[in-house]
Amino acid sequence: MKIVLAEVPYTKDRYIGVEQSCCPEGAELKIAVFDEHSDDNSAFYKEIEDADIIINGYVYFGRKEIDALKKCRIISFQSTGYNEVDLKYAEEKGIGVCSILDYCTQETAENAMALMLNLQRAIRLYDRSVQQDHVWDYLVARDMHLKRIAGQVMGIAGLGRIGQSVARKAQGFDMPVIAYDPFLPPEIAEKLNVKLVDFDTLLAESDVISIHMNLTQDNYHMFNKEAFQKMKKRPIIVNEGRGALICDDDLVWALDNDLIRGAALDMVESENPDLSECKLLGRENVLLTPHSGYYSETSDYLVAKYSMDNALYYYNGEYDKVKVMRNNVRG
C-alpha cells in the first residue's frame, strides 16, 4: 500500500508523525508537493501515479491530477470542505472522496471572534503604535471610527457547527444574531435565538458578516460587487469558510469605495497565494491569516488522525466507519 500526502509548498515540511503512526505495517508513506506557481510539477505527478490513497488538504485534483492516478481508490480530505477536487470526475474514475467533521469547531469559531474583535478595537494599530512607534495615544485610531460592539448585528453566512458556535459567542458580547442558511432546519436557529433571513437581508442588516460555508459551484464568488453594493451598514467581513466565497478583486473594490469598514480573512482565493501580487496587503482595516483559524495542537492531531482513519476504513471496505463520504463510489 502506498499513501501519498498531497502538499503545497508552505505545508511540505509540516509534522507528519501522526500519519506515520497510523500507517499499517509495510505501508509506504510519501509526500508529493504541488506548486500552482511553478511550470514544472512533474515530480508531483510521478509520485502520485502509483498511490493507493491520497491524503489531501489544499491541492486541487482536477481532471489532469485524477487521470494521473493509476491505482488510487480514495482521496481523503484533511478538512470538512471538499472543494479541492472535481467530485464528479473522481466518481466517473471510480475514486472515492471523503472528508471529516468536527475537529476544529471551537478553534475556528474562536478565531472568527478574535479577528472581528481585533478589527473592531483596532488592536493591531494600537499595539504597533506603542511597540514600534513608541506613541502612547488612543487617538491614533480616530480614523477607524470605532463603534461599541454590543448592539451591533452579527450576520452569519452558514449556520453549521462553526456558525452556531460563533452565534453563541457573539451573543455573549450582546450582539443580536441573524443568519443565512437555506439548508438549516428552522427549529435549530430558533433554539439558538437566531433569526433566519434571506441573503439580501443578511447583507442589508448586518454590522458584521461572518462567513462559515463550504465552497460549492453555487456559492463561488457569492460575495461580489453586487453583494457589496447591498451592504447598507458598512459591515466588517470575516471569512473562516473558503477563500473563493469572496471575489478578491471585488473585495478590494469594496474597500476602496468605503462600502465596508474592513475585512478579516483567514484565507484568500488561492490556498497558495502570491503575496507579491496581493492587493489586500498594507491596509490598516484588513487582517490576513494563513488559513490558521483551525489550528491548535489538539485540532492538528485530530485532522491528521481522522483523515488517515477515513482512508484506511475505506481501503479496507469498512465504509460505515468513514466520517463523511462525498461521492457514491464504494470499492
Active site residues: 242, 271, 291
101: phi then psi, degrees, rounded to nearest 5: -135, 150
Whether the CA torsion 329, 25, 16, 35 is positive or negative: it is negative
315: phi then psi, degrees, rounded to nearest 5: -60, -35
How many angstroms separate the CA atoms of 296 and 303, rounded? 10
Whether the CA torsion 185, 106, 100, 35 is positive or negative: it is positive
Q: Residues with Cβ < 8 Å from 312, sequence gap 6 or more?
A: 22, 24, 53
- In 10 A of CB 211, how many CB atoms? 24
102: phi then psi, degrees, rounded to nearest 5: 50, 50
- Asked whether 71 and 51 are in contact (CB, 8 A), the reply is yes
Convert 89-113 to b/e letters by CB count within 10 Å (16 or more is b).
ebeeeebbbbbbeebbbbbbbbbbb
| 3-class secondary-structure state, position 52 | coil
- Asked whether 178 and 208 are in contact (CB, 8 A), the reply is no
